[in-house]
């Protein structure tokens, strides 16, 4: 990047903040703290997309600016940088360092390629379906954190380890992040945002909400989303484009590898224990309520430092391990959470909801379009759960105010709450931490966002009008 261009990108960040702080209309955000929050997000988005400074540096802007402008309580902002998800990502990153130390990463990569093949379209299809299915019953952050290192190992094996410069690598990591978001919509178990929605539905009806009802009502939506997302991701991918090498070649490569060493087995076992315990938490949460996925990964990461090589000596030591941990991953994720905290706690999200409430919506297609658009864009700048907590009660209030049944509109809002494509916030920070550039995410995510908003608005309205079950619980 040329020096003059870099300076321009650096300076434009604070300029955007000042413009938002001074010129966002008071009817949009009457409080100075809310305008400052909008300015902070604009500044972060600009620096993340243009990249004049390291992404992790940008992630600390919420702390710096909140210290000066006191938008929200600082403890709420700081908490994001030591949240459970950050610990989960740290634990997963340490465990994958042990893969590299033992050579397990190459073995896993060769196995994946021998099973899936190297055709890029097949790779996109496999990773999307795999992650979507997992995230339908598991928190999407856990799925994305567990699967991404596997894909990164595979990419390194075929010489695509520099994700920032690899179109193939960037596309596959983006596929995993998008799939984890889409799959979360398939059942209430897909994430806390769905449980928030379920809670509001139970308050509305005064009865227990059956999870099977959610699965049935969202099945056509999920199918359309999966198909449309895969097709959009495959745009520009040639039919015969591959990662290099045939499926048969990788089968031979895998067979030619030496017998798995003891330290490889232990590294794999620790990762599998962390993953399986995270995926089966419902089975033991009453017995061990404090053993959440984040802490499982941290415990297994700690145990990895006790693995000893067959020839003697410890496999991992902190001084060498810390150089390989993907710290940027955690800071970018935390920065996105912190930006969401500013937006929600300063009143920006609520003000936007109130603006929508005053637009005289009548409950038709335009209402569905506005709800999908607002919730999806809010999810891009804050967490999905926070968006649900803010948007769902506003949607209920609006729809009840015009005398309509709020249940189908709550379902419609849940679509946007689960989806987001453009900014490196929430789980989309995970591929960025591994090298994907946010400007690539914006480039791919913007057209997908437009298509999804249109598709989901049309489908949501059609289900509301022509499928009676969509208006019930």
Other CB atoms within 10 Å distance of the CB of residue 25: 8
Answer whether residue 221 is part of any domain: yes
Is the pLDDT at 3 greater than 70? The verdict is no
| Residue 28 within any structural domain of the chain | yes
Last residue of a domain, one of 16, 49, 71: 71
Q: Is residue 378 part of a domain?
A: no
- Is residue 410 situated within a structural domain? no
Do 260 and 311 lie in a common domain?
yes
Say if residue 470's pLDDT is above 70. Answer: yes
Whether residue 111 sits in one domain with residue 51:
no
- Do 120 and 259 have their domain in common? yes
Instruction: Indicate whether 182 and 279 sit together in one domain.
Output: yes
The residue among 71, 93, 113 that closes a domain is: 71
Of 103-112, 168-177, 295-304, the least confident: 103-112
Q: At what angle do helices 262-279 and 84-102 cross, to 10 degrees?
A: 160
Its domain, for residue 57, covers 1-71
Question: For residue 21, what pLDDT is reported?
Answer: 93
Round the CA-based radius of gyration of the chain to a whole number and report it: 23
305 burial type by CB count under 10 A (0-12 exposed, 13-18 middle, 19+ buried)? middle
Q: Which of 256, 286, 321 is the last residue of a domain?
A: 321
Q: Which residue has the tokens 């289900």?
A: 463
What pLDDT does 221 receive?
95
To 10 degrees, what angle do helices 438-466 and 406-418 make?
160
Measured distance between the N- and C-terminal CA atoms of the chain, rounded to whole angstroms: 55
Kindly state whether residues 114 and 258 are assigned to the same domain.
yes
Is 176 found in the same domain as 242? yes
Considering its fold, how many domains does the chain have in total?
2
By C-alpha distance, which of 56, 24, 49, 23 is closest to 13?
49
207 domain-assigned: no
Q: Does residue 354 sit within a domain?
A: no
Q: Is 124 in the same domain as 258?
A: yes
Do 90 and 140 lie in one domain? The reply is yes
Is pLDDT above 70 for 357? no
What is the Cα–Cα distance from 399 to 446, expressed in whole angstroms?
A: 29
Same domain (yes/no): 290, 144 = yes
Q: Provide the pLDDT confidence category of residue 384 given band limits of 50, 70 and 90.
A: confident
Do 168 and 31 belong together in one domain?
no
- For residue range 200-220, what is the model confidence (pLDDT) as tens digits? 888 888 888 888 889 899 999
Confidence tier at 380 by pLDDT (50, 70, 90)? confident
Inside any domain, residue 252: yes
149 shares a domain with 221: yes
Dump pLDDT digits (tens) for 16-74.
Answer: 999 999 998 887 788 899 999 999 999 998 999 888 998 889 999 999 999 999 999 99
Residues 38, 166, single domain; the answer is no
Q: Cα separation of 452 and 258, whole Å? A: 47
pLDDT, tens digit (0-9, with 9 covering 90-100), for 247-258: 787 888 888 888
Q: Give domain status of residue 432, yes or no.
A: no
Using the structure block, give the residue that is written with the tokens 């090589």.
Answer: 309
């Amino acid at each position: 990047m040329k020096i003059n261009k870099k300076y321009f990108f650096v300076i434009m960040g604070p300029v955007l903040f000042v413009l938002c702080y001074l010129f966002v209309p008071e009817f949009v955000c009457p409080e100075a703290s809310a305008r400052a929050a909008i300015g902070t997000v604009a500044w972060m988005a600009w620096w993340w997309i243009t990249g004049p400074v390291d992404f992790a540096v940008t992630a600390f802007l919420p702390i710096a600016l909140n210290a000066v402008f006191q938008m929200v309580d600082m403890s709420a902002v700081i908490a994001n940088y030591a949240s459970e998800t950050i610990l989960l990502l740290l634990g997963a990153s340490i465990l994958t360092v042990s893969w590299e130390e033992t050579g397990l990463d190459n073995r896993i990569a060769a196995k994946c390629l021998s099973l899936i093949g190297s055709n890029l379209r097949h790779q996109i299809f496999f990773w999307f379906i795999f992650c979507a299915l997992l995230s339908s019953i598991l928190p999407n952050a856990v799925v994305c954190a567990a699967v991404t290192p596997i894909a990164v190992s595979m990419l390194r094996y075929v010489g695509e380890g520099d994700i920032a410069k690899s179109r193939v690598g960037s596309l596959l990591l983006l596929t995993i992040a998008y799939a984890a978001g889409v799959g979360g919509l398939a059942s209430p178990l897909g994430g806390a945002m769905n449980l928030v929605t379920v809670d509001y539905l139970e308050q509305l009806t005064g009865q227990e909400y059956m999870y099977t009802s959610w699965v049935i009502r969202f099945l056509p939506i999920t199918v359309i989303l999966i198909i449309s997302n895969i097709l959009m991701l495959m745009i520009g991918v040639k039919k015969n484009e591959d990662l290099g090498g045939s499926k048969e070649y990788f089968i031979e490569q895998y067979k030619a590898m030496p017998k798995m060493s003891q330290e490889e087995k232990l590294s794999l076992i620790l990762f599998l224990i962390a993953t399986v315990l995270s995926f089966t938490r419902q089975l033991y949460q009453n017995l061990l309520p404090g053993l959440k996925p984040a802490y499982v990964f941290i415990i297994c990461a700690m145990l990895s430092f006790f693995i000893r090589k067959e020839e003697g000596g410890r496999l991992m030591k902190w001084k060498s391990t810390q150089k390989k941990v993907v710290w940027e991953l955690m800071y970018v994720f935390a920065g996105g959470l912190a930006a969401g905290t500013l937006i929600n706690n300063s009143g920006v999200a609520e003000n936007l909801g109130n603006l929508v409430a005053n637009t005289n919506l009548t409950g038709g297609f335009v209402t569905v379009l506005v709800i999908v658009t607002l919730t999806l864009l809010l999810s891009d700048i804050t967490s999905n759960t926070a968006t649900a907590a803010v948007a769902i009660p506003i949607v209920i209030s609006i729809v009840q105010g015009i005398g309509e049944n709020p249940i189908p509109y709550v379902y419609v809002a849940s679509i946007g709450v689960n989806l987001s494509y453009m900014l490196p916030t929430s789980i989309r920070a995970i591929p960025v931490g591994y090298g994907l550039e946010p400007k690539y995410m914006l480039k791919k995510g913007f057209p997908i966002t437009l298509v999804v908003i249109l598709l989901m608005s049309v489908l949501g309205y059609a289900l509301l009008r022509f499928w009676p079950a969509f208006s019930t619980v």
